Amino acid sequence: MDADVAIIGLGPAGLQAAIHAARKKVKVVALGKSESSALNKAEVVNFFGILSMAGPELLRIGREQAKNFGATIVEEDVMKVVKDGDEFKIITETDLEIRAKAVVLAMGASRAKLNVPGEASLVGRGVSYCASCDAGFFRGRTVAVIGEESEAAESAILLTEYAAKVIWVHRELKVSPNMLQKAAAAKVEMVPGDPTKIEGEASVTGLELKDGRRLDVQGVFITLGAKGSMELALELGLLPDPSGRIRVDENCRTDMEMVYACGDVTGSPWQLARAVGQGAIAGDNAARAVRQEKS
């Protein structure tokens, strides 16, 4: 599938970027899952012109608006985005390939925590939230990946290239059959369970599950969602700050030509109004760049 502008993220920033880019009559493809947006669990009471509205309803309306202006919505998680010559190549969880002239990153804030004993004290000592950042530190070790969605699958598969053994601990799986097949082919061990404690003092030594089982692991990768801003930015060659924030200028341009970012990926305040405003700027400027118009 070819596009002029590919937008990664179906939250308020990504959908507003899709609306503004599509209005300029360029081919727009917006990818992601709206249920991953923080707005999906919110009640909106402080946005101009809306007294009160459930977040999921606002997202539904946004998707319809984007479609009505001509954007194509692909409700799949993005697994990879790379620069390929003068274009960008984006691969989804079902191996759908999109080639685009410009990219807008609007994945929202990442790094959801598990919030179990041992997690906070062992960050950097065996607990990680980024497999592509830290996989190399676990060569020859046994590691656990915790999560149910596409990032967990991708992380588990990547870690098999480094670790001696990879155990994917999950509750209710929410990934495509394609990703499950890839994990099985990579010999990832699947373990249904609910983690309750990460063991260790100087470093991780084990993972306890709710039913009393204990896994002997030296690393724990917490991957509770879709692939995050830090991982995708690194694949492109962008360097986020330690919190995962992507730097942009007043036109929502990143340090890489034809790559824009908007919403929570660019930092706080994490507010709907800011996300929508940046989405409009990013979508408009990405479309202008494709059309080679001056902003």
Q: In degrees, to the nearest 5, what angle opens at C-alpha 223 toward C-alphas 133 and 115?
A: 115
Strand partners, 206: 199
CB 215 within 8 A of CB 191: yes
CATH architecture of residue range(s) 120-222: 3-Layer(bba) Sandwich (3.50)
Looking at per-residue pLDDT, the higher value among 111 and 76 belongs to 76
pLDDT band at 243 (very low <50, low <70, confident <90, very high): low
The stretch 77-94 carries a mean pLDDT of 93
pLDDT tens across 97-118, in order?
Answer: 999 999 999 998 766 788 999 9
- Is the pLDDT confidence value at 226 over 70? no
Determine the pLDDT at residue 233: 84
Q: What is the DSSP string of 268-288?
A: S---HHHHHHHHHHHHHHHHH
pLDDT tens across 250-270, in order?
Answer: 999 999 999 999 998 998 888
CB 80 within 8 A of CB 95: no
Looking at per-residue pLDDT, the higher value among 38 and 62 belongs to 62
Determine the pLDDT at residue 164: 97
Strands 259-261 and 97-105: parallel
Alpha-carbon distance of 113 to 87, in angstroms, equals 34
Q: Which CATH class name applies to 2-110+228-291?
A: alpha beta
- Token pair 């405003």 is found at 277
Nearest to 126 by CA among 242, 220, 224: 220
> Residue type for 220, please?
V
Q: Looking at residue 250, what DSSP letter applies?
A: T
Average pLDDT, the chain: 92
- Its pTM stands at 0.78
The stretch 51-65 carries a mean pLDDT of 95
Domain residue spans of the chain? 2-110+228-291, 120-222
Show the tokens assigned to 81. 């985005």
> Residue type for 166, please?
V
pLDDT tens across 4-41, in order?
Answer: 999 999 999 999 999 999 999 999 999 999 888 888 88
Whether 2-110+228-291 and 120-222 share one fold: the answer is: yes
Determine the pLDDT at residue 294: 57
Q: HSE, CB side, 13 Å, CA atoms: give it for residue 291.
A: 17
Alpha-carbon distance of 40 to 57, in angstroms, equals 8
CB 144 within 8 A of CB 217: yes
